[in-house]
Structure 1
Amino acid sequence: MTTHAVRLESAGAAVTVASAEQAVTDWSARYFGPWWKAAEVPPQGVCAGPLVVAEVDPGRYADESLAVTQAPHRSVVYAKAQTLLSEDSAAGVIRAVSPDQALAYRSEPQAGSLMVFGCDTEPVATATARLAREVMRGALLRDGWAVLHASAVVSEGRTVLTLGGKGAGKTTTAFALAAKRGIGLLANDRVFVRPNDRGGVDVLPWPSAAALGLGLLDALGWFDICRERLEAGEALHPTQDGRVTEAILAGRREPLWNGSREMKTQVFPDQFPSWFGVPLATEGEAAVLVFPRIEAGAAPAEEDIVRGLKDADFMSGKTEDRYPDIFGLLGVDGGGTAEARHEVAHRLAELPHHSVVLGHDVAANADFLAKLTGCA
């Protein structure tokens, strides 16, 4: 059986994704792309280092599912899905099954091996990419990196970190600079950070699909591009609600809500350069921190408010509720060690901090932010 393989690398950490289904490895290559230097490797090299193997095989899924349910198991929520988990400590094997997603898993943490089984290619491909990212996260965290909730853009190695709670404007800030100034996009919501030997903080991307509200999509000048691409038969990320796709195709640009939750476009990482002409950055060094807030009708301006990093700006095992470490992939706290977070916070506190108010004029925001942060 032909095996296809893709190797992901970042800051000395690496993981290989292998599958008989090329669509599965193509998905990881597309998802991680230049952010994690995704590259095809020969099948004979797939045993070196941590390995995620994916099989699209209903029979194997059924066997693995049965193995979980016949053993002592408990119920957890993983990736928003009810998941049954069985742990065999003596054998060093963790098995799990998510019946609603028709996905089963077999993890051997000590051997650096993880297998994903399913009945359909797309769910297997998305789960495989998600778990490959978790394997990489574990390797980076064990090497002294921590995870910071921030958007980030990079200009000539200088990284602008944007922080704040949900809805503060992290995405608006990053995409204003990326879309209107051509500055490299490093991350939309999370970044890896680590103290370096120069007294600064290195920053790496956390690859993920980006969620953009329809209003922001329009303000960035990307709405019509999305509509044309969708009309041509291309697709956005499958986690996107079908009602968002329908709204774009119908030309409806106003925000779309499901109760109190705004439904957003979900953009693949590779669509930023290929659809919108936004380059992706692979690394940088923190240079300036921005704390935005959005106010309709406001002219962009700096505010006389002192703001700094908080504990909540860092991820920890307590706050990582979507992807808890049920497969034993991390080996440390989900956001990095307390020591790493403390040292990063100490060094970032010494950088310039800017509290700003931004309006809905993306071009004006971009011009203001570029000058303020030295990216002009």
Structure 2
Amino acid sequence: MKTVPEVSRVLRYPGSAIQVEGPARDVEWVVQFLGPSFSSRIMGEAHWRVRMVRDQTAFEKRLRAGPDPRARRRPCFFLDTRTETLPLWRGPRGATAVFDRDHGGFAFVRKQGSEVEILCPERNHISRLAFMRIVREHALSRLMSRPGLLLHASALVMEGRSALVIGEKRSGKTSLMLHSLWQGNGDPSSSGGPARYLANDRLWLSFRNGAPTARSFPTIASLRLSSLGLFPGIAAKLEKSTWVPTLTLQESRLRSAPVAQPWNGRKYTLSPVQLCRLLGVEASAAAPVGIILFPRVTGKRGRIRITPMHSLEAEAALWRGLFRAGTPQKAGGLFSARGYPRRIDREATSHGIRELVGQVPCYSVELGLGAYSDRGWLNRLQARMAR
């Protein structure tokens, strides 16, 4: 087996300090995927450790060991509508072992949950997703013990303040973000000012010194073919790209021919940093909240119409925009921090929503059939944020 250099980094997110170790390129990918909202340091104190090991022989040996004889499963990942479970496996003595078949890796949890080792084949880039998800899951569990709101939202930053775009699936949330960022940077025919990327699907909102601040919680960016049809400039650039979400920017550049392909024939997937390169924008880690937008696709003639929302209407929309809204709030699982809350404090959440609506203007945004040919949208948005 060829020896590859290993490196170590400490990743920090509010409430978390996680040491990640492994082959240099794998650690570089995790740092790049989770940044800049997860800051990276070469050294520092950490309360949790995750190490990736690439060993084909050990992986195949563990695979032959077989699953738990009672076919038990362990809850592992806190998703929006369910908790994802993984099958228990026959593992090393003193470790709880699970097998992530989709991402080609075993995870061994040791030392009362404070240390995780991920065992993967030697050449399988998708295993990096298992690495990243475990790091992110632990950070999420610690985050949910802190005061704040975890929201389904895309977001951009202009002049140091963020515009949050909150909505359910098919509400136009991602398309409005793409339109705003493309107008603000990538579209040569637009006069909009510079905009920065903050989040594409999920963000953490806290009240720093009483003022609401949004921080990205990184996820894979999914661009449906139906959405890309609205942005021919973005689609043309994507079709010529060599981006694969499990590769770093440098690894992608080494590919000689376009390889980006729609997953399952329906959507492209990108890492957050690849999405930024696609749109020609820089990324922000966090920013004070300046405005909240709730989009709705009308299916009728017209462009973009923005109208103020009543506070009660905005509060109800924010409840619907919460991560895992309407489902039982249970503990996370194998990779969660010890002391993870059994239930989310609804009273504290309600207070946070009222506080947010009381401080930040909220608007309904109607997206007509001509919404994405509206060249003046970004200027109008900036004017609203400047009030």
How has the CA–CA distance of structure 1 residues 332 and 78 changed in structure 2, closer, same or farther, with 3 Å as cutoff? closer
User: Who is 2:51 aligned against?
Assistant: 53
Match of 2:40 in 1: 38
CA offset at residue 111 of structure 1? 4.8
Change over 3 Å in CA distance of 1:212–1:356 after alignment to 2: same
Check whether the contact 1:211–1:265 (CA below 8 A) recurs between aligned residues: yes
1:298 aligns to what?
A: 302
Deviation string 1:258-306 (CA, Å, 9 cap, x unpaired) is 7xxx822212211234333111111112232111112354221124764
Q: How many residues align?
A: 347
Is the deviation greater in 280-289 or in 311-320? Answer: 311-320
Q: Is the 8 A contact 1:141 1:337 kept in 2?
A: no
Deviates most, 184-193 or 268-277: 268-277
Structure 1 contact 316–336 (Cα < 8 Å) conserved: no
Distance verdict in 2 for CA 1:77–1:122, change over 3 Å: farther
Matched residue SS, 1:38: strand
- Whether 2:328 is the aligned partner of 1:325: answer no
Question: TM-score if structure 2 supplies the norm length?
Answer: 0.76
Residues 1:147 and 2:150 are matched in the alignment: yes
Is it true that 1:166 corresponds to 2:141 in the alignment? no
Which digits, 9 at most, give the CA deviation of each residue in 1:177-211, with x for residues without a partner?
A: 2221232211111111123332x222110112211
- Residue 223 of structure 1 aligns with an amino acid whose one-letter code is A
| Contact persistence 1:157–1:285 (CA under 8 A) | yes
Which SS does the other structure have where 1:143 is aligned? coil
Once residues 153 and 321 of structure 2 are traced to their aligned partners in structure 1, the CA distance between those partners, rounded to angstroms, is 8
Structure 1 gap ranges (5+) = 240-248
Asked if residue 195 in structure 1 is aligned to residue 202 in structure 2, the reply is no
Secondary structure class of the residue paired with 2:144: helix
SS at match of 1:349: helix
Query: AA paired with 2:32?
Result: R
1:112 alignment partner AA: S
| Divergent runs of 4+, >4 A | 62-68, 70-73, 76-82, 249-252, 303-306, 317-321, 333-337
Alpha-carbon distance in 1 for matches of 2:134, 2:177: 26
Whether the 8 Å CA contact 2:76–2:332 is kept in 1: the answer is: no
Q: State how far apart, in whole Å, the 2-side matches of 1:137 and 1:352 are.
A: 28
Q: Deviations over 1:137-156 (max 9, x none)?
A: 22322333431111122223
Corresponding residue for residue 373 of structure 1: 385
Shift in Å, 1:104: 1.1
* Alignment map for 1:73-152 (pairs within 5 Å): 73-75=71-73, 83-85=86-88, 93-99=95-101, 101-108=103-110, 110-119=112-121, 120-152=123-155
Write the deviation string for residues 223-257 of structure 1: whole angstroms up to 9, x where unpaired.
2222232xxxx223259xxxxxxxxx7999xxx89
Stretches of structure 2 that go unaligned for 5 or more consecutive residues are: 185-193, 248-257
Mapped partners of 1:132, 1:250: distance in 2: 28
Conserved in 2, the CA contact under 8 Å of 1:149 and 1:191? yes
Which amino acid in structure 2 is aligned with residue 299 of structure 1? Answer: R
Contact 1:78 1:324 (C-alpha < 8 Å) held by counterparts: no
Alpha-carbon separation, structure 2, partners of 1:95 and 1:184: 41
Q: Distance in 1 between matches of 2:288 and 2:37?
A: 15
- Partners in 1 of 2:331 and 2:58 — Cα distance? 25
**CA shift digits 1:111-155 (9 cap, x unpaired):** 521121122431321110111111222232233343111112222
Q: In 1, distance between residues paired with 2:104 and 2:260?
A: 35
CA contact 1:149–1:313 (8 Å) conserved in 2? yes
The 8 Å contact of residues 315 and 335 in structure 1, kept in 2 or not, is answered as no
Q: C-alpha separation between the residues in 2 aligned to 1:155 and 1:126?
A: 31
Tell me the residue number matched to 1:244.
Answer: none
Alpha-carbon distance in 2 for matches of 1:235, 1:333: 38
**Could you tell me the TM-score, scaled by structure 1's length?**
0.78
Equivalent residues in 2 for 1:2-21, closer than 5 Å: 2-11=5-14, 13-19=16-22, 21=23
Q: Secondary structure at the match of 1:289?
A: strand
Given that residues 82 and 100 in structure 1 are in contact (C-alpha distance below 8 angstroms), is that contact kept between their aligned partners in structure 2? no
Farther off after superposition, 24-33 or 72-81: 72-81
Looking at structure 1, the residues matched to 76 and 323 of structure 2 have their Cα atoms a distance apart, in angstroms, of 17
One-letter amino acid of the counterpart of residue 179, structure 2: A
